[in-house]
Structure 1
Amino acid sequence: MWLAHDQELACEVALKEIVLSPDIPESEVSARIARARGEAQHAARLRNHPHVVTVYDIVESGGLPWIVMEFVPGATDLEAVVRDQGPLPLADVARIGLAILDALMEGHRLGVLHRDVKPANVLLTGPGPHASRTTEDGRVLLTDYGIALEPSSGAPRLTAPAEIIGTVRFMAPERLHGGTPTPASDLFSLGGTLYFALEGTGPFDRDSDCALLSALLSEPPTPPRRTAEAAPLLLGLLAKDPEQRMDGDEAARQLTALAVRPGPASAQPVTLPTVVPSAGPREPVGPVPPRSAEPAPQTELLPPVEFRLPAEFQPAAEPEEPVGPPPEPPHREQREEKPRPHPRPPRSGHRRAGLIAGAVALVAGGAGVYLALPDPPAPASVSSIRVGGHPEGVAVSPDGRRAYVTNERSSSVSVIDTATNKVDRTIPVGSFPKGVEVSPDGHRAYVANLGSGSVSVIDTAANKVDSTIPVGRQPDGVAVSPGDGSRVYVTNGRSDSVSVIDTATNKVDRTIPVGSSPAGVAMSPDGRRAYVANLGSGSVSVVDTTTGKVGRTIPVGRSPQAVDVSPDGRRVYVTSLGSGAVSVVDTTTGKVDDTVPVGSGPQGVAVSPDNGRWAYVTGFSSGAVSVIDTATNEVGRTISVGSGPAGVAMSPDGRRVYVADFSSGSVSVITV
């Protein structure tokens, strides 16, 4: 790819050169040249679409075509953004999805299938340094129509009948079976692309290519772990049967709803127009009918909805670790503003299948008698500590002097001195660290590394990793047996199992099958039970730690994420991402005896260790912590914290609550 200046257009353009190795067979040379010409021709038909990279011309030199196309300064592909920044917020991904869907449906209307929708073929741009913050600032562009197909054109196909081209990781199953590509095939790939943006991994990713192919053809996608609100959309687009797959109009409706959901507060307001569904049933791919001379109706715009870009996606660089005293977070009442109108002239031309505008970011008690206890205490203060990128899990040492925070994007653990509320050490660990727990004696901290399939064992005196233990695929939650600390229990999200580590040998001595996509895990106070939240199967597995087997499976809410046990062991509290609630399980009966609504996106939960009176639940979408009175099972107070709160832990005396603010790159400390 070359940057050039077009004298006729009087602007910078991108030149795509077709470079062929001398040892390529002649038949392949012809196919590649034809593919390049096809890319230009197909993309040129969409040259006026705001979400397709514009192709201006095709020129030839030495018998090879050069494609003259739009130069997009500052563009980064979605795959690179997620790789560098981690999973993106739901509202941002919904906006990206609307743009891609808009381009795809317009192509389908014109009779062109893309056939290779994937994160690497989605370009994102941010607003320029002098741009006003309008709906046109950021761009989402679909590129690489090199293997696009126009089934009814009569042109020869670019591959042999048995050859499959495209990226298998995001390819629809019917194409792997040799079936004819359809618009539904592109929508499947769109679903995989959005899943990747939200989760940081593909819906069928496995340890080997053979396992990936098997999963694509015969296994359901792994349920989304971070954003259960998007599960209906993603699972609908990723349906194996194209006849049962969600169509474009329904996808547009669901994406629009997700794009305007309230999310964590952040900094740059933009407005969002509605997506107008296509009139009538989905049109088949085929010849384009003549257009009517009658002008198309104008696109109706929704009232503007304010959206703020998370701080970690701002253009200005931030230090990875804290420098100087952190500012106090503002109260929610101070940072919320009324939506501001920002009208946009309606686009002329035919009625579009979808329309998108807006800047796109680049880039989780018991039933005893309580006497004369007060109402939930108001926080004396909420302070903020800057840590690494995308903090996820948090744990406090038994003496309360240190808090350990996993930084997903930084692949590190920040060690906070709780006396000064400052990070005094940063420890490199494995890839994408998630859960963390400290041994009862405080000598070791155990970190589950989702990306590297391992557990890092930190020597807390030396502040360094002294052992790395391989476990199952995508480890998430971690819990240490109370008392002697002889066992560590690690949930493996992709292995549907729990690895049990013998801390004397630092080896896995048992693997226990549990439910689908296990996430959080917590131990009973006597160490005889481990409670595992199974995100994929909507249940809690109760593991008998003596026999190493699941003794009971308890249905709870949709997409359970985190779990904690009351100090007396009589109640288990489980956050349900998909239900927006906390399930309260009676450990004697093994049944849910109450459900407490807490709002959208509950993630972490921690029960006060001193008397078990309060349960603190983080709301990823609301940027707040709900305080549940465990005597009444009602939310008594909501406390504003940083953006995207995930993990939560309490000091041993119950006076401080530590919240990992995923989107803010900080830890909120609530003093109660």
Structure 2
Amino acid sequence: MALVGENTVIPLDMQATPFGAGEIMGGQRFVARGPVAPGRYRALRLTINKAAVVRQSEKLFLAVPEPVVELPLPGDFRLEAGMSRSLFLAWDEEASLRNSAFFIPSLAVLAEQFPLLADLAYVSCPEIDTVYLVRTDNNRVCGSLAISGTPTYMAYDADRKRLYVLATKDATIFVVEAATSRIIDRIKIPMSVNPSYFVTNNGKWGYVLDQDGDSLLKIDLVQGTLDRRVRLGDKPRFMLWVPDREQLAISSGLSQAVYLLDPETLATRSTVLTGNGPDGLLVTDNYLFVAESASNTVGIYDVRSGQISKRLNVGFKPRRLVQNDNRIYISNSLDSTISLLAIRQQTVVRDIRVGGMPLEMAVSTRHKWVYVAEQATGRLAVVDQTASRVVQHVELGTKPQHLLVVQ
């Protein structure tokens, strides 16, 4: 596969890959990607090695009279420096098989279409400096956004309709106008060693964990300035904004503690001592749920007293927790499962098998999906909350990091 310009042909990174119409079934398959020089391009070139049709369980190979196909690109297709664009192939299977002995591909290239700010998920992919946009009504990638400097964690301001993306390598927060997917500001993070996590409480303040610097930074997102910085435990891992209590919760892996902080002064209000390797956090019904990654447990603590209520065994190396209704989903990164926990009963009711190295998760409440970032497979698993099983995958072709759903 290659992109054809006016005086150039640029191959895209793709191995010979079979695509079956029955496997796609109204969904998507990832095909190829590659770095492309700025300029104007006119066509996408495909090479079809062979084609076959299955009839009565027998595979019949078809002749391919024109193995090299050039498909015109939509509109005046241009790429600029620092831009990421997605293209989509539409395949009319029936039209391609009108002659029973030949495969004459009926294909068209479609442009990306950014949906309205609902039914939308953002997926950061740090290895390719890209944030993908995924429609949550049909679980299809619909576009992409270039974020340089290793995009990792994201936050969304629903009032201002702005997406904030932490670029870890460049120590920068990108501010994106969500309606247009246009970058409108870049905020440099000063005095940081390795900014590793980011949240915002109201779009006014951003909070950045610096894991290697053992510190927390408070950033004025409107002025783009550092408000204050505090030292915090050993190797802070995860941060959660708790709106009901107006405080920040931060897990410290080596200190075996969760710190509850004042969001204005960053002073520690209280400390909850936990099991080994506290990582992901969730607060609901006055209980703090902690993914204790080194002991393969979830600790449940009374958030007011800091005392433990219960400790549950889950899978190997639990990392993250997300809630929907009376359920908490826990990603177990080393055994490729999601543990399902009933909140009121404080019991694990089942495990859901997913792909390799599940990490971040996000919930679409409208469509009753739980999205799971499978870091080892380069895709998202789509878990049906009613059936408690994986019903679909969203292929990305690269490691997904963070997920954020705009309801």
Give TM-score scaled by structure 2 length.
0.64
User: Which residue in the other structure is 2:154 paired with?
Assistant: 394
Describe the shift of the 1:541–1:392 C-alpha distance in structure 2 as closer, same or farther (beyond 3 A).
Answer: farther
- Counterpart CA distance in 2 for 1:541 and 1:611 is 29
User: Which residue in the other structure is 1:491 paired with?
Assistant: 251
Q: Which moved more, 1:460-469 or 1:631-640?
A: 460-469
In the alignment, which of 228, 239, 243 is matched to residue 478 of structure 1?
239
Describe the shift of the 1:541–1:330 C-alpha distance in structure 2 as closer, same or farther (beyond 3 A).
Answer: farther
User: Which residue in the other structure is 1:562 paired with?
Assistant: 320
In the alignment, which of 324, 344, 362 is matched to residue 606 of structure 1?
362
- Counterpart CA distance in 2 for 1:266 and 1:558 is 33
Quote how far apart the aligned CAs of 1:446 are: 1.7
Describe the shift of the 1:612–1:508 C-alpha distance in structure 2 as closer, same or farther (beyond 3 A).
Answer: farther
- State the one-letter code of the partner of 2:317: S
- State the one-letter code of the partner of 1:436: F
* 2:394 pairs with 1:634: no
Describe the shift of the 1:329–1:495 C-alpha distance in structure 2 as closer, same or farther (beyond 3 A).
Answer: farther
Describe the shift of the 1:423–1:473 C-alpha distance in structure 2 as closer, same or farther (beyond 3 A).
Answer: farther
- State the one-letter code of the partner of 1:532: V
Contact map agreement 1:329 1:384 (CA 8 A) in 2: no
Describe the shift of the 1:549–1:621 C-alpha distance in structure 2 as closer, same or farther (beyond 3 A).
Answer: same
User: Which residue in the other structure is 2:45 paired with?
Assistant: none
Describe the shift of the 1:454–1:388 C-alpha distance in structure 2 as closer, same or farther (beyond 3 A).
Answer: farther
Contact map agreement 2:273 2:306 (CA 8 A) in 1: no
Describe the shift of the 1:443–1:483 C-alpha distance in structure 2 as closer, same or farther (beyond 3 A).
Answer: farther
Describe the shift of the 1:481–1:388 C-alpha distance in structure 2 as closer, same or farther (beyond 3 A).
Answer: same
In the alignment, which of 237, 260, 267 is matched to residue 507 of structure 1?
267
- Counterpart CA distance in 2 for 1:377 and 1:611 is 9
In the alignment, which of 182, 185, 207 is matched to residue 422 of structure 1?
182
- Counterpart CA distance in 1 for 2:307 and 2:140 is 44
Contact map agreement 1:455 1:468 (CA 8 A) in 2: yes
- Counterpart CA distance in 1 for 2:303 and 2:367 is 23
What's the secondary structure of 2:359's corresponding residue? Answer: strand
- Counterpart CA distance in 2 for 1:447 and 1:427 is 12
1:508-587 matches, within 5 Å, as 508-524=268-284, 528-566=286-324, 568=325, 570-587=326-343
- Counterpart CA distance in 2 for 1:399 and 1:556 is 37
Describe the shift of the 1:592–1:411 C-alpha distance in structure 2 as closer, same or farther (beyond 3 A).
Answer: same
1:339-358 matches, within 5 Å, as none
Deviation digits for residues 230-257 of structure 1 (CA, Å, limit 9, x no counterpart) = xxxxxxxxxxxxxxxxxxxxxxxxxxxx
Describe the shift of the 1:621–1:400 C-alpha distance in structure 2 as closer, same or farther (beyond 3 A).
Answer: farther
Show structure 1 runs of 5+ residues with no match: 1-264, 269-321, 334-360, 362-375, 654-672
Identity %: 22
Higher relative strand content: 2
- Counterpart CA distance in 1 for 2:87 and 2:212 is 31
User: Which residue in the other structure is 2:193 paired with?
Assistant: 431
Describe the shift of the 1:421–1:507 C-alpha distance in structure 2 as closer, same or farther (beyond 3 A).
Answer: same
1:53-452 matches, within 5 Å, as 323=81, 325-328=83-86, 377-379=137-139, 381-399=141-159, 401-429=161-189, 430-439=192-201, 441-452=202-213
| Greater relative contact order structure (CA < 8 Å, 6+ sep) | 1
Contact map agreement 1:558 1:579 (CA 8 A) in 2: yes
What's the secondary structure of 1:646's corresponding residue? Answer: coil
Deviation digits for residues 66-87 of structure 1 (CA, Å, limit 9, x no counterpart) = xxxxxxxxxxxxxxxxxxxxxx
Contact map agreement 1:577 1:603 (CA 8 A) in 2: yes
- State the one-letter code of the partner of 2:200: V
User: Which residue in the other structure is 1:457 paired with?
Assistant: 218
Runs (4+) off by over 3 Å:
265-268, 322-325
Contact map agreement 2:195 2:209 (CA 8 A) in 1: yes
- Counterpart CA distance in 1 for 2:216 and 2:303 is 20
- Counterpart CA distance in 2 for 1:323 and 1:266 is 16
Give TM-score scaled by structure 1 length.
0.40
User: Which residue in the other structure is 1:469 paired with?
Assistant: 230
What's the secondary structure of 2:213's corresponding residue? Answer: coil
Describe the shift of the 1:633–1:506 C-alpha distance in structure 2 as closer, same or farther (beyond 3 A).
Answer: same
Describe the shift of the 1:534–1:414 C-alpha distance in structure 2 as closer, same or farther (beyond 3 A).
Answer: farther
- Counterpart CA distance in 1 for 2:198 and 2:144 is 20
Equivalent residues, number: 288
* 2:351 pairs with 1:595: yes
Deviation digits for residues 46-72 of structure 1 (CA, Å, limit 9, x no counterpart) = xxxxxxxxxxxxxxxxxxxxxxxxxxx
Computed over aligned residues only, the root mean square deviation of the Cα atoms, in angstroms, reads: 2.8
Quote how far apart the aligned CAs of 1:630 are: 0.6
Describe the shift of the 1:434–1:549 C-alpha distance in structure 2 as closer, same or farther (beyond 3 A).
Answer: farther
